[in-house]
Structure 1
Amino acid sequence: MEITILIADDDPIFRELIRDMLKKESYIVIEAENGSDALQAFYDNSGIDLIILDVMMPELSGWEVLDEIRIQSEMPVVMLTALGDERNEIQGLHAGADDYITKPFSYPIFMARIKTLLRKIERKKTATLHCGELILNQLEHKVFVDEEEVFLNNKEYQLLEYFMHNKGLTLTRDMLINQVWGFDFDGDSRTLDTNIKTLRAKLQEAGRYIQTIRGTGYRLEELKKNE
């Protein structure tokens, strides 16, 4: 799983040091030399997983960049500073930073703290299923279409989760019924068809991803807008 980290620090030597540490661990690194560049990199790169911000930077300080990021995202942010002042650490944590590291620091301690945050990211990534603009978060049992939350009942959610785990595969009606209602279900396939109909409606534009395979069952497949 690829992890992308943005480093923002106006000291090129220190920035290079952090970059080399992270690349040694096979992380993808994006660099910014001031606060404005850091904020622009955040907006330009949707795949960033974690941000490391120096507090004292030209144009925009690390605090100002953090404030702007928190308006848009809960992405993990680590603050770096040469100020070994408890007040700065408290300020960083209250401002929404996930961790606060004082320079200078050792390689093992730095990487241990970064990896602690990244483990949370990796768990979240593996728990999130995607199909076009459709996103299902298994940890929170939430579904989003174009970043707007969609509210499903339990059966609809189970159906969608099963579809997304088997994206691109044709699932028979029996497979779907057994998965969601169980082997001892004594109803008929009309119950399934009704739930599929309501699920499609709630998913709005993404509902067309659930395709009917005549005489067999259904398949979830990402389609372009004009398909």
Structure 2
Amino acid sequence: MAGILLVEDDPSVRTGLELALTRQGHSVTSCATGEEALDHVRTRRPEIVILDVMLPGIDGIEVCRRIRKIDSLPVILLTALGDDLDVVVGLEAGADDYVVKPVQPRVLDARIRAILRRVESVPADRLTFGDLVIDRGALKVTLKGKEVHLTPTELRLLLELVRHRDKVLNRRYLLRTVWDHGHVGDSRLVDTCVQRIRAKIEPVPSEPRYIHTVRGFGYRFSPP
């Protein structure tokens, strides 16, 4: 199904997840350190990175930041139960989703497949909003003629907001349609992803022109 890079320093957890994901039909390569992960991304780009936060040497958060400087491939964090700070910092670093340890392989597989659906289900046409151009066929966003590098999740969220232009979309709806979370989920995924998109497409992110917050409800795409 997917070419996965699994980055986990605990040998028993790494072996267990690698076997479980392989049984689900994925092609899994694993490593134990952040340095190995970055080398693999540069030389043998995977489709998805499953990244433990607590790694020896370069930790998972820093690995995610460095991946985002060179690639927009999806990243799912593995984080310990209750480590809310790691979740927030990881999402701000560019992670697309997170799974809490101890990891249930079926949950992780569901998140992987949801990300693949986000990548594959982008409709094709070209949308122009002033300086902002969204080419859904080419999976490309440009601002003033310069390409804006968005992750698949960021692109899918932006497209969902654009599809419902001038309508308010609540966080529960966005979690269901963008992240494919059938339950209520974590609204931080939505809020942090919106912040990342704003940082890339808004001239002044604190005074957004495109993606507006409707307090108590959610977000609305209303271009000037």
Q: Give the shorter-chain TM-score range.
A: 0.5 to 0.7
Corresponding letter in the other structure for 1:63: I
- Other-structure match for 1:109: 107
- Other-structure match for 2:116: 118
Q: C-alpha separation between the residues in 2 aligned to 1:7 and 1:30?
A: 6
After superposition, the Cα gap between the structure-2 partners of 1:26 and 1:86, relative to the gap in structure 1 and judged at 3 Å, is same
- Other-structure match for 2:88: 90
Q: C-alpha separation between the residues in 2 aligned to 1:82 and 1:141?
A: 34
Structure 1 residues without counterparts, runs of 5 or longer: 128-136, 143-147, 150-227
- Other-structure match for 1:8: 7
Structure 2 residues without counterparts, runs of 5 or longer: 125-134, 141-145, 148-224
Corresponding letter in the other structure for 1:101: V
- Other-structure match for 1:62: 60
- Other-structure match for 1:183: none
Aligned partners of 2:79 and 2:87 also within 8 Å: no
Shift of 1:121: 2.9
Q: C-alpha separation between the residues in 1 aligned to 2:136 and 2:94?
A: 25
The number of residues matched between the two structures is 133
* More displaced stretch, 113-122 vs 32-41: 113-122
* More displaced stretch, 52-61 vs 105-114: 105-114
Q: C-alpha separation between the residues in 2 aligned to 1:93 and 1:65?
A: 13
Residue among 75, 78, 92 paired with 1:77:
75
Aligned partners of 1:32 and 1:41 also within 8 Å: no
Per chain length, whose mean CA-contact separation is higher, i.e. which structure has more relative contact order (CA < 8 Å, sep 6+)? 2
How big is the alpha-carbon RMSD for the aligned residues of Structure 1 and Structure 2?
2.5
- Other-structure match for 1:19: 18
After superposition, the Cα gap between the structure-2 partners of 1:88 and 1:141, relative to the gap in structure 1 and judged at 3 Å, is closer
- Other-structure match for 2:137: 139
After superposition, the Cα gap between the structure-2 partners of 1:39 and 1:141, relative to the gap in structure 1 and judged at 3 Å, is closer
Q: C-alpha separation between the residues in 1 aligned to 2:7 and 2:14?
A: 7
Q: C-alpha separation between the residues in 2 aligned to 1:103 and 1:92?
A: 15
Secondary structure in 2 matching 1:75: coil
TM-score when normalising by structure 1:
0.53
Secondary structure in 1 matching 2:99: strand
Corresponding letter in the other structure for 2:72: E
